[in-house]
Chains A and B, each alone.
Chain A
């Protein structure tokens, strides 16, 4: 088993109640890679991330995090096993907690996470607002906070869901710099992204998901020649 495989998903099926959402996802993420999950709304990209964390009704197949099978593990253990950091689509900022409390909520998973000072250097806006309630932050600030708080924990594999959604271009630029920084620091990142122009220059590989299956895998290098196929998959 190659040791640099942080995530290997095989034949993953997932259900919410009666509805069968994922129909056999296969994908692999190596240490230090940035990959994206592309696809239309409802294709199962968000569900794939949730299924990794056990946040779906039922899941079958295999999910290995650094070689450990987690398909039958309770949600609260999975983050520890895989050193996972999760940033949900709706950002998940806790309204009843202030910025500092939000930042310190996720438990430490391993040594080597960023210190609060490092985080405030990376996200200076948050520092000014550290005692504000989570509900008082702007969309951009909430997004920064949602990313910042998983950097403190020592997580090495980041699952980021639609981090650009509904944000102004100037904030996208900051986010793009942040992702580049994180990549240089050695983080492994799975991006679920609607905004292809944001994701394309950042990622090593792209998985295209349709109807709960991976239908295409594109390396960054072959992006140009496969552009047409990609457009077909992503066009609404």
Chain B
């Protein structure tokens, strides 16, 4: 097997990896601060993709007013809309569950997922609709020396990495980030100091959902947009979070990237195992390091 093939496959794996990283990062942020296992994360990702698709392909068709929302505006708009929906869900529903067992938050968000998937399946093609709005500036391929790589995919990789590491830097190295970490560790005392922890929680949930929405927009030109696209991905992403360690920000990013690579490489080495290798690794991690690779034992 030539080195070219391996490098090419590694790059495609990294491409999947950045989506895992962005989604598991959002899950880790939400789990860390709210202790909520957000099962609706996949639906938020799907929603982000649909906002881009509807904005580009359907608005004009539905309302006939010549309105078209392109890729770049969607990249800003979709996270805001999805984040706003997250805030609404947190304020009206999730906040009532904080004193109860984890399982209630999981059930609620799972229910929300089913409702959103059901609604979209009712109006859109379940087998997927291509997103035609990829900007011209990002079409074509780049010559990387060892292969020609689609410009858009390269953009998606770089853009996601920037988003992931900016988020990490923000949480670990800024004042607002240190307040968030304090709110996770001891919400009562943090509040007694005069910090509005409930507001921080709401905004964080909105931010995590917004990240999923952003990943959805980025994914739209690569994968076809379907009501079930989030459901297919979220199971893998949960495995990534478990491997990285629940609540660990850097763990979520690095294991997302690494598992994308592993999955990509498995496709060339032993294709039948490609879709199961992540779960196999999850079993190993749970056996030997139950708190995850980057998690702390409690």
Binding site for B on A (CB under 8 A): 53-55, 74-80, 84, 86, 88, 92, 94-97, 101, 104-107, 109, 150, 153
Could you say which of A55, A78, A106 has the most chain B C-beta atoms within 10 Å of its C-beta? A106
Q: Do A80 and B194 have beta carbons less than 8 Å apart?
A: yes
9 A-B residue pairs with Cβ-Cβ distance under 8 Å, sorted by A, are A76-B197, A78-B194, A79-B194, A88-B189, A94-B181, A94-B186, A96-B184, A96-B185, A105-B182
Docked-complex contact B188 and A79, CB < 8 angstroms: no
In the complex, A199→B186 CA distance in Å? 29
Would you call B185 and A95 a contact (CB within 8 A)? yes
Cβ–Cβ < 8 Å partners of A55 in chain B: 188, 192
Tell me whether B196 and A76 are in contact (CB under 8 A).
yes
Q: Which residues of B contact A97 (CB under 8 A)?
A: 178, 181-182, 185
Do A96 and B194 touch (CB < 8 A)? no
Contact A107-B194, Cβ < 8 Å, known A97-B178, A101-B178? yes
Q: Count the B residues whose beta carbon is within 8 Å of the partner chain — how many?
A: 19
Which residues of B (185-221) have their CB < 8 Å from a CB of A? 185-186, 188-198
List 19 other contacts, CB 8 Å, given A77-B194, A78-B194, A96-B182. A55-B188, A74-B198, A75-B191, A76-B194, A76-B197, A78-B192, A86-B192, A86-B193, A92-B186, A94-B186, A97-B181, A97-B182, A97-B185, A104-B178, A105-B178, A105-B179, A105-B193, A105-B195, A106-B193
Q: Please, which residues of chain B bring their CB within 8 A of the CB of A76?
A: 191, 194-198
Q: Which of B16-31 contact A (CB under 8 A)?
A: none
The interface residues of chain A lying within 8 Å CB-to-CB of B197 are: 76
- Which of A86, A94, A153 makes the CB contact (< 8 A) with B182? A94
CB distance from B189 to the nearest CB of A (A): 4
Is B175 an interface residue when CB atoms closer than 8 A count as contact? yes
Q: How far is the CB of B24 from chain A (nearest CB, A)?
A: 20
In the complex, residue of chain A having the shortest beta-carbon distance to the beta carbon of B177:
A101
Give Cα A3–Cα B240 distance, bound, in whole angstroms.
59
Contact of A109 among B188, B190, B194, B198 (CB under 8 A): B194
A106 CA / B195 CA spacing, docked (Å): 7
When C-beta atoms are compared, the residue in chain B nearest to A88 turns out to be B189
Residues on B with beta carbons closer than 8 Å to the beta carbon of A101 = 178
CB neighbours of B184 from chain A (8 A)? 96
Within B70-112, which residues are at the interface with A (CB < 8 Å)? none
A96-B184, A96-B185 known; A107 vs B193 contact (CB < 8 Å): yes
Contact of B194 among A88, A94, A95, A106 (CB under 8 A): A106
CB proximity of A153 to chain B, nearest CB, Å? 8
Q: Do residues B181 and A96 form an inter-chain contact, with CB atoms below 8 A?
A: yes
The docked-state distance in angstroms from the alpha carbon of A75 to that of B194 is: 7
Bound together, the chains give a CA A79 to CA B190 distance in angstroms of 11
